Structure 1
Amino acid sequence: MTTKNPWRPASIEDRMTPTIGILLINLGTPDATDPASIKRYLKEFLSDPRVIEKRGLLWWTLLNGIIIPRRVKKSGRAYRLIWNEAADESPLRTITRAQAEKIGEAFGGDPRIMTIWAMRYGAPSIYEGIQGLANAGCDKVLVFPLYPQYSAATTASAMDEVFSVLKEMRWQPSIRVVPPYFDEPTYIETLAEHITRHEQTLRWKPELCLASFHGLPVSFIEKGDPYQAQCETTIAHLRAKLGRESKTMPLVYQSRSRRAIWLDPDMEETLANLASDGVRNLTVVAPGFAADCIETLEEIEMRAKNVFTQAGGENFSYIPCLNDCTKSVEMLCHVIQRELSGWCCQTNSN
């Protein structure tokens, strides 16, 4: 049976149809908080060989027989704590949609450009995102994995899926990929301003600001993953911009798993130690996340706060991700516009 080719070059008569697609990609989210939805999401996520490199019959038995069943209840409870009840979706989906819409508005003066968003795991899928751009007539696609720091477990996984979709298509678009923006000056400047504004709203003075990045097994770094070096570069630039030292802006890693040796220092251990050492007031920022999600809203804002206060800390404030605030959208548009050089274009963000 012949299938319709979704990709088609724009004709002269169709020249006002979008020809450039911007595909924003974030990690993913379950569709709901019920056990079936959580299980479906976890299975897709934990079955990715970029995330869990162990393979074989033993691993699959452990994954499906022990690991996923144990995580379903815990993850469901965590998602329910942060769920956007009004929209009946996770905050990550709400925010990523808003980012795409506002970026689309910024490029709204150019009818050739279309912005769409997708999730690596869950819906909307990368396949749906690419199909949407194809159906709109886009013959050039800029893929933007929304991870400031590169890791094979995030950026590479997203691109694996992009190319997996494209390899099934007879006629393909031209593809560009936005590189990691861990040392992008506008990203550092936007983060620094965001931290300063948040801390100025507090009725107490933070003694230090903890910069928490998602953890990664040490084995990934030993195999050549640049993630740790890029996290350290980001925090070095951020400290310099804010005029802070490592002792007043420590770098930590979160989401450690017990089944491997992970990057140190651990966020929760550091918080407990700081409180025990007499630190009473601090803020926490998560520079590795482009949008708030379960790792920031539940793990940091709720769980980490409890760890700190139970160990003797008094004032704790989580600094939200840049999300879809005006400065964040302007920064993302700046990066996009640079990567679209030669294809177009001007934004309406000025």
Structure 2
Amino acid sequence: MIEVNAPHDSSDNRHPEHAPADHPRVSQRKVGVVLANLGTPDATDYWSMRRYLNEFLSDKRVVDYPDWKWQPLLQLIILTKRPFSSGQAYRGIWNTEKNESPLLTITRDQTHKIADGLEALYGDQVVVDFSMRYGNPSTDSVLRRMQARGCDRILFFPLYPQYASPTTATANDQAFRTLMKLKWQPAFRTVPAYFEEPAYLDALSASVKEAYAVAETPPEVLVASYHGVPKRYLLEGDPYHCQCQKTTRLLKERLGWDDEAIVTAFQSKFGPEEWVGPATVEHVAELARRGHKHIAVVSPAFSADCVETLEEIEEEIKQSFLAAGGERFTYIPCLNDRDDHIAALLAVISRELSGWC
């Protein structure tokens, strides 16, 4: 198995053919694959959370207000209070055994499995690693490590099924910032949105079927809950909202369900702007008031469970449904490192590596 986040091993270095005897040894040429996810704090204490939130909320792709308006509010008010509440949320889901967030654990597990799959296909020609847009391992450190290991071609894969400016675009932005600083840039490709990938839809529908099969009573409605964005982003050309709606439709068709059996909603609203809707936390309460006693929630926009699923959905959104009269709430985990999900990601990677391997 290819070691993930491994330091450069100088034993891979070779003396270039036909070079003078005193020429430095260089790394064997390889292709790199970097899996990129959103990010994670290093710990749940105040200062770790503040560093993470500051990096996240200072990103212009996430909050695009002018600095003169946003930074005083962020630094003097939001980052004074929010690290406490966010730290508490992370502590409730923290992987205490490994002392890290579930997102970090799951992304590493995904990377190991994908490394095994690519090694079976291409031998030691491909190096696989993962990075985080915010926090560690940083995008910059991973790309530089890739180059040190001889990767003169790199495939950068943001693990977001649907494209969005605050996710896919900012991950790519960060990678490009590193490329701008390198004297010798590797050839570079980014992976596009993959929500229409048949194998991804197969894995998503299989996870729903499995959850319904083991439920004591089948849920009456499935809520496909996506991370929200300001409505303005949609009007300015971001395709995320449309791709989310299409994902729900394609999932419904895969399942062979009627329109009423599945609905689309959006969670994690932040700030005063109008966001795309309906809001998941409000919509599940409305479903309960309409008489639905058992619902299920799935998160097709997340490739790995994280604070938005394990804490927000499993606690806040669940409580909203139960408080409004609902009785049973089923959360269907993200695809994480399921074998069918890994197979879907491998199919995307293999296609995007065309001509390189």
Q: Does 1:43 align with 2:54?
A: yes
The number of equivalent residue pairs is 337
Deviation sequence 1:44-89 (CA, Å, 0-9, x none)? 0000011100013232111100112121111011000100000000
Q: Which residue of 2 aligns with 1:86?
A: 97
8 Å CA contact retained: 2:199, 2:341: no
Which moved further from structure 2: 50-59 or 233-242?
50-59
Q: Which residue of 2 aligns with 1:69?
A: 80
* Pair 12,268 (structure 1): closer, same or farther in 2 beyond 3 Å: farther
Q: Which runs of 5+ in 2 are unaligned?
A: 1-12, 19-24
* Pair 40,326 (structure 1): closer, same or farther in 2 beyond 3 Å: same
Q: Does 1:26 align with 2:37?
A: yes
The CA distance in 1 between the partners of 2:170 and 2:288, in whole Å, is: 37
8 Å CA contact retained: 2:14, 2:27: no
Aligned with 1:256: secondary structure?
coil
8 Å CA contact retained: 2:197, 2:344: no
Q: Which residue of 2 aligns with 1:319?
A: 332
Q: Which residue of 2 aligns with 1:169?
A: 182
1:143 is aligned, of 149, 152, 156, to: 156
Q: Does 1:214 align with 2:227?
A: yes
Q: Which residue of 2 aligns with 1:3?
A: none
Q: Which residue of 2 aligns with 1:295?
A: 308
Q: Does 1:227 align with 2:240?
A: yes
Q: Which residue of 2 aligns with 1:272?
A: 285
Deviation sequence 1:250-295 (CA, Å, 0-9, x none)? 0000011241100111101111111111100111000000000000
Which aligned pairs between 1:113-132 and structure 2 lie closer than 5 A?
113-132=126-145
The CA distance in 2 between the partners of 1:158 and 1:138, in whole Å, is: 19
Aligned-pair distance for 1:303?
Answer: 1.4
Q: Which residue of 2 aligns with 1:185?
A: 198
Aligned-pair distance for 1:18?
Answer: 5.7
* Pair 9,49 (structure 1): closer, same or farther in 2 beyond 3 Å: farther
Which moved further from structure 2: 65-74 or 41-50?
65-74
Q: Does 1:308 align with 2:321?
A: yes
Q: Which residue of 2 aligns with 1:55?
A: 66
Q: Does 1:254 align with 2:254?
A: no
8 Å CA contact retained: 2:304, 2:335: yes
The CA distance in 1 between the partners of 2:16 and 2:37, in whole Å, is: 32
Which moved further from structure 2: 331-340 or 181-190?
181-190
Deviation sequence 1:60-119 (CA, Å, 0-9, x none)? 111100112121111011000100000000000000011111100111231110100000
The CA distance in 2 between the partners of 1:78 and 1:318, in whole Å, is: 18
The CA distance in 2 between the partners of 1:324 and 1:18, in whole Å, is: 29
8 Å CA contact retained: 2:14, 2:26: no
The CA distance in 1 between the partners of 2:29 and 2:43, in whole Å, is: 33
Q: Which runs of 5+ in 1 are unaligned?
A: 1-7, 345-350
Q: Does 1:263 align with 2:276?
A: yes
Aligned with 1:107: secondary structure?
helix
The CA distance in 2 between the partners of 1:130 and 1:244, in whole Å, is: 43
The CA distance in 1 between the partners of 2:165 and 2:15, in whole Å, is: 34
Aligned with 1:161: secondary structure?
helix
Q: Which residue of 2 aligns with 1:197?
A: 210
Q: CA RMSD in A?
A: 1.7
TM-score by length of structure 2 reads: 0.91
Aligned with 1:52: secondary structure?
coil
* Pair 15,43 (structure 1): closer, same or farther in 2 beyond 3 Å: closer
8 Å CA contact retained: 1:16, 1:111: no
Aligned with 2:223: secondary structure?
strand
Aligned with 1:27: secondary structure?
strand
